[in-house]
Amino acid sequence: MDISEFVKFAKATIDFVADYNETLRNRNVLPDVEPGYLSKLLPEQAPQKSEKWQKVLEDVEQYIMPGITHWNSPYFHAYFPTANSYPAIVAEILSSAIGCIGFSWIASPACTELEVITCNWLGKLLGLPNEFLNHSEGTGGGVIQGSASECTFICLLAAKEYTTRQIKTLHPELNEDLIKSKLVAYTSNQSNSSVEKAGILGSMLIRLLPVDNKCSLRGETLKKAIQEDREKGLIPCYVVATLGTTGTCAFDNLDEIGPICKEHNIWLHIDAAYAGAAFICPEFRYLMSGVQYADSFNVNAHKWLLVNFDASVMWVKDSRRLIEAFSVNRIYLAHDKEGLAPDYRNWQIPLGRRFRSLKLWFVMRIYGVEGLQKHIKNTIRLAQLFEKYLRSDDRFEIVTEVVMGLVCFRIKGDNSLTKKLLDRLQARRQVYLIASTYQDKLIARFVVCSRLCREEDIAFSWNEISSQTNEILQGELY
Ligand code: PLP
């Protein structure tokens, strides 16, 4: 493909993207396909001869779009949002075109330096303690990873190395493998699946601790678990606290958990993958009270901060712990400016890394802090609107307090009614919600996800939910 064809192809694709966004409401949010649908439509072999880009773009509409779940549809209320904005899309194109792999400062100085700057910008915007920022006096700093799962895993691995080294210094006679086999991590039974997975991948026992009636992990529970484990000869090493759990958007109590971690010299990681974004609005920062105790903190800019996937920002107070755990040097990686700026390969799992900070930079500049705050507040306002609809209808109960963009509700009565509602909604494909549980209750999670969502979209989703509830409850009567 030559440059003039590239320009035509790219322009046509941008037109396609603009049209896709404009017409998202006309598409069912869930696709109507069965597993294997695509292999029936596409050839078994790659084409021998070059095909025209026009035909390829046409086939996107014909074959790919029918199999897409439209995460950016205003009627998508499942999981949590996946961010989408035009500045981030454009930055992604540019990042792809530059195509640098910034594993060390010299491998692309701007890639590293813009990441340092944008992580500092965002860290300040969230009101994180100064120790998390990259500045000449400290050891803190931010880095952009691919996912919250990676952040939790990386910090687990670093905590494992750090604790092992400390114990080895105090007791040189102890075998390192034996120390590692006794390490234990803690999180609540409401934490994201990725936290348990980090334990599996990092070969560390993870205890899923019970929560209070607000789904929050409390200090007393953690303290008791630590005591029990110490008595068994285990070594508490790592705690993952969640601010904004996936199931019900609950907040663990950092003011209680933090001092316990400090007392026992346990690494405290905060998973604020979704709700962390709201801390750019000072009025929500009360929800991260106790953050000063944390060793690491993570928010997914790709969830609620308008930066397209992937951009999971992680800050640590002591980056030396990552470097000590992960650095492997080779002559081909060396450069003469080492130590003067981060070599981010030592802060992450892969060697290669994308120029993700461009997305953050574009979004923060083009929206501005005010634009980002407006987006957060608007999402919460729309969630509260949906909450109002529910409160006006006594067939429903709201199960947990609506703090962010998530409303947890159910049809009063047996769990089977809410199950039927979710099944019906899914079968009709107009709106998409998923289930969670609160104590022994099955609940439906309604999340305001799309940047495009407006009041009339909430009304549309509410009408669908309400009318399907009518059908279910009438069916129960006859
Ligand atoms: N933590 C929380 C609280 C989440 O809600 C999620 C995903 O929704 C994750 C972690 C996992 O995020 P990622 O897909 O970036 O690994």
Across the range 303-320, mean pLDDT stands at 98
**C-alpha of residue 57 to centroid of ligand 1, in Å:** 32
- Asked if 260 and 118 sit in the same domain, the reply is yes
CA distances from 148 to 123, 273, 294, 330, 392 (A): 16, 6, 16, 29, 37
Looking at residue 475, its pLDDT comes to: 82
The answer to whether 297 and 152 have CB atoms below 8 angstroms apart is no
Q: Can you list the pairs that 288-292 forms with residues at least 24 positions away whose Cβ atoms lie under 8 Å?
A: 288/127, 288/243, 288/254, 289/254, 289/255, 290/253, 290/254, 290/255, 290/256, 290/257, 290/258, 291/128, 291/129, 291/254, 292/129, 292/258
Rounded distance between C-alpha atoms, residue 44 and residue 168, angstroms = 56
* Residue 92 maps to a domain: no
Neighbours of 206 (CB within 10 A): 20
**What CATH number is associated with residue 144?**
3.40.640.10
- Which mutation among 194, 243, 356 tests ligand 1's pocket best, with the greatest number of atoms within 8 A of CB? 194
* Residue 469 maps to a domain: no
**What atom in ligand 1 is closest to the CA of residue 312?**
15
- Asked if 197 and 328 sit in the same domain, the reply is yes
Report CA torsion sign: 322, 323, 328, 332: positive
- 430-460 confidence digits (pLDDT tens): 999 999 999 989 999 999 999 999 999 999 9
**What atom in ligand 1 is closest to the CA of residue 147?**
15
Amino acid at 146: G
- Which mutation among 243, 271, 287 tests ligand 1's pocket best, with the greatest number of atoms within 8 A of CB? 271
Query: Is 90 exceeded by the pLDDT of residue 470?
Result: yes
Query: Is 80 exceeded by the pLDDT of residue 239?
Result: yes
- Asked if 341 and 244 sit in the same domain, the reply is yes
The alpha carbon of residue 300 and the mean position of all alpha carbons in its chain are separated, in whole angstroms, by: 4
Range of the domain at 51: 3-81
Q: Counting beta carbons within 10 angstroms of the beta carbon of residue 467, is it exposed (0 to 12), middle (13 to 18) or buried (19 or more)?
A: exposed
Q: Cis omega (within 30 of 0) on the bond before 212?
A: no
- Asked if 56 and 168 sit in the same domain, the reply is no
CA distances from 405 to 3, 249, 251 (A): 44, 9, 14
Rounded distance between C-alpha atoms, residue 78 and residue 432, angstroms = 6
Pocket of ligand 1 (CB under 6 A): 79-80, 147-149, 192, 194, 242, 244-246, 271, 273-274, 300, 312
Kindly state the tokens that stand for 201: 């991948």
Rounded distance between C-alpha atoms, residue 387 and residue 368, angstroms = 29
Looking at residue 274, its pLDDT comes to: 98
**C-alpha of residue 401 to centroid of ligand 1, in Å:** 21
**C-alpha of residue 430 to centroid of ligand 1, in Å:** 25
* Residue 260 maps to a domain: yes
Rounded distance between C-alpha atoms, residue 256 and residue 252, angstroms = 9
Across the range 361-386, mean pLDDT stands at 98
Rounded distance between C-alpha atoms, residue 101 and residue 25, angstroms = 38
Cβ neighbours for 267, distance < 8 A, ≥ 6 positions apart: 155, 158, 159, 162, 163, 237, 238, 239, 261, 295, 296
User: Beta partners for 206?
Assistant: 185
Looking at residue 136, its pLDDT comes to: 80
Percent of the chain surpassing pLDDT 90:
98
* Residue 224 maps to a domain: yes
- Asked if 109 and 64 sit in the same domain, the reply is no
- Asked if 73 and 198 sit in the same domain, the reply is no
**C-alpha of residue 360 to centroid of ligand 1, in Å:** 19
**C-alpha of residue 192 to centroid of ligand 1, in Å:** 6
Kindly state the tokens that stand for 253: 């109590």
- 163-209 confidence digits (pLDDT tens): 999 999 999 999 999 999 999 999 999 999 999 999 999 999 999 99
Rounded distance between C-alpha atoms, residue 359 and residue 88, angstroms = 5
Place of tokens 């999670």: 445
Query: Is 70 exceeded by the pLDDT of residue 314?
Result: yes
CA distances from 107 to 98, 361, 424 (A): 12, 20, 52
**C-alpha of residue 164 to centroid of ligand 1, in Å:** 28
Helices (H), 327-431: 357-391, 415-428
- Asked if 33 and 169 sit in the same domain, the reply is no
**C-alpha of residue 7 to centroid of ligand 1, in Å:** 37
Amino acid at 478: Y
Amino acid at 112: T
Looking at residue 321, its pLDDT comes to: 97
Rounded distance between C-alpha atoms, residue 371 and residue 80, angstroms = 20
**What atom in ligand 1 is closest to the CA of residue 300?**
15
- 98-132 confidence digits (pLDDT tens): 999 999 999 999 999 999 999 999 999 999 999 99
- Asked if 231 and 267 sit in the same domain, the reply is yes
* Residue 162 maps to a domain: yes
Rounded distance between C-alpha atoms, residue 177 and residue 175, angstroms = 6
**C-alpha of residue 3 to centroid of ligand 1, in Å:** 40
Looking at residue 478, its pLDDT comes to: 64
Q: Please count the structural domains in the chain.
A: 2
Q: Residue 476: pLDDT band by 50, 70, 90 thresholds? A: confident
- 85-100 confidence digits (pLDDT tens): 999 999 999 999 999 9
Kindly state the tokens that stand for 79: 């999981």
Domain end among 354, 389, 422: 354
Percent of the chain surpassing pLDDT 70:
100
* Residue 441 maps to a domain: no
Q: Residue 137: pLDDT band by 50, 70, 90 thresholds? A: confident
- Which mutation among 188, 196, 274, 404 tests ligand 1's pocket best, with the greatest number of atoms within 8 A of CB? 274
* Residue 395 maps to a domain: no
On average, the pLDDT of the chain sits at: 97
Amino acid at 242: T
Looking at residue 71, its pLDDT comes to: 98
> DSSP character for 307?
-
- Asked if 146 and 23 sit in the same domain, the reply is no
Q: Counting beta carbons within 10 angstroms of the beta carbon of residue 165, is it exposed (0 to 12), middle (13 to 18) or buried (19 or more)?
A: middle
- At CA 235, angle to CA 344 and CA 197, rounded to 5? 55
Across the range 400-415, mean pLDDT stands at 97
Kindly state the tokens that stand for 197: 């997975």
Domain end among 304, 328, 354: 354
**What atom in ligand 1 is closest to the CA of residue 242?**
3
The sheet that has 312-316: what strands, in order across it? Answer: 141-145, 312-316, 296-300, 267-271, 235-242, 183-188, 205-209
* Residue 389 maps to a domain: no
- 2-41 confidence digits (pLDDT tens): 999 999 999 999 999 999 999 999 999 999 999 999 999 9
- Asked if 32 and 108 sit in the same domain, the reply is no
Residue with CA at minimum distance from ligand 1 atom 5: 246
- Asked if 213 and 73 sit in the same domain, the reply is no
**C-alpha of residue 116 to centroid of ligand 1, in Å:** 23
pTM above 0.95, yes or no: yes
**What CATH number is associated with residue 24?**
1.20.1340.10
Helix 219-231 to helix 254-263 angle, to the nearest 10 degrees?
30
Domain end among 354, 373, 391: 354
- Asked if 24 and 166 sit in the same domain, the reply is no
CA distances from 97 to 3, 138, 250, 372 (A): 13, 34, 40, 27
Looking at residue 454, its pLDDT comes to: 97
